[in-house]
A and B are shown apart, each in its own frame.
Chain A
Amino acid sequence: MNIIGPDYLVFGVDDLAASIEYLTAFGLKPVDVTDKGGLFEALDGSGIIVRHKSDPTLPPPLPTSNMLRQQVYGVRASEDLDAIEAELSKDRRVTRLADGSIETKDDHGFELKFQVTKRRELVMPAEKINAPGAPAQRKPNEIGVWEEMPAAPRMLSHVVLFVPDIEVATNFYCGRLGFVITDVLKGAGPFLRPKANDDHHTLFFIRTPDYMKGCEHLAFHMGGPTELMVAGTRFVKKGYQSFWGPGRHKFGSNWFWYFNSPLGCHFEYDADMDKHDDEWIAREAPMGAEASQIVLFEMREKWAPGGPPPGAKP
């Protein structure tokens, strides 16, 4: 089962106009978006599908107030869909759609869809840095930052779910769909990557009461930490609300910056995540501020030394 990761996350919201404004300002590109919503793409074509919660074309809601309606996973080939269908049909209904994709539910009732991935292959450079002792990554006269530099989300990275039972969730995604645990934050839950993706995680669980079941946050990969901080700074300047960051996580090593949203969950810019293969042995750490991050900063308004002392006579 060559699952790559989430192609799309589907939301049914109570304020569609606010969500459309937010997703656009976050840096996603509206594709065929009307006043009924639509798809907002990252550069590789993965992204967020948003509609009003009353839209009959949406999958059914969770029994909670969470607005996540469906996780759409991309797989490598149609044979992978056949394998997933064969495995999950053993104990639940799996629906084959006209386009060959399949729909079902996980063991917590989260709606799932699997399709041959619609992500486009990205060919673009990572953020380049220069450091003594290493070959320069930027040529002479190639500058690192400029005011209008691009800082667009490149790819849907991961989704984090509130689940009431970590063991049930882990058994389903690992036991039935071949995900692998890369690290565990004890007291919260495990980080998971699917077989056909070497990112540290595309999925993470946090244990919560049943009535909170849903999406805690989702994240998009940026081209590097500078792009992350530039995009986040621009977002704050437009009035959007930072929740946590910028900083850098320990597990996964990814830079992070989280924001509130009108979609009932946090949106995260992330950058420079670790890659793993099957040789990796999962680590464990107790959930807490120390384990969560190697550094944490908080944005402030731009400032520079200079000017007269306060109260100085002109």
Chain B
Amino acid sequence: MASAQLLCRVEDIAEGEARGFGPLDGYRRKIVVLRRNGMLHAWLDACPHYPGGTPMAWKTDAYLNGEKTHLACHSHGALFDMESGECVLGPCLGQQLTRIALAISDEGEIFVAAAQEEKRA
């Protein structure tokens, strides 16, 4: 089994904020970790608009829209629900971001499992 990879600590992601990590071994894109309503969510930094997925930030860690209400793709302004990953506006309306499972240690460290073979969109 592939080993888990450390992203950061739980306190590194504040409420309503998002950060990008990687790309880690086995992943072709970064992983976006955000906190919404107290819960951590992680998504592959790959907008489903085009095959293969395209990176969504306009600058390092700049993943949210101006109002900080949605995860945004800064290619064409697509907006995604931060908790469900569903595109609510934009060219990929109704499609989903790829969720990345997180594991949190007793010490508050956030890990992802190393991808064995990531499915290509």
Contact = CB atoms under 8 A, between A and B. Distances in A.
A259 B77 CA distance: 13
Contacts of B74: 241, 260-262, 264
A240 B58 contact: yes
Contacts of B76: 212, 216, 264-265
B16 to A, nearest CB: 14
A189 B65 CA distance: 29
Interface in A237-255: 238-243
Interface residues of B, number: 21
A239 B60 CA distance: 5
A297 to B, nearest CB: 16
B58 A261 contact: yes
A238 B59 CA distance: 8
A103 interface: no
Interface stretch (A11-19, A107-115, A142-150, A302-310): A11-19
Nearest to B20: A241
Nearest to A264: B77
Contact of A260 (B58, B66, B79, B90): B58
Contacts of A242: 55
B89 to A, nearest CB: 6
Nearest to A21: B59
B59 A239 contact: yes
Interface string B31-53: 00000000000000000000000
Contact of B91 (A15, A208, A243): A208
Given A262-B74, A265-B76, A14 B58 contact: no
A266 B60 contact: no
B58 A241 contact: yes
Interface of B: 54-60, 62, 65-67, 73-77, 79, 89-91, 93
9 contacts: A14-B66, A65-B79, A65-B90, A67-B77, A211-B93, A260-B73, A260-B74, A264-B74, A264-B77
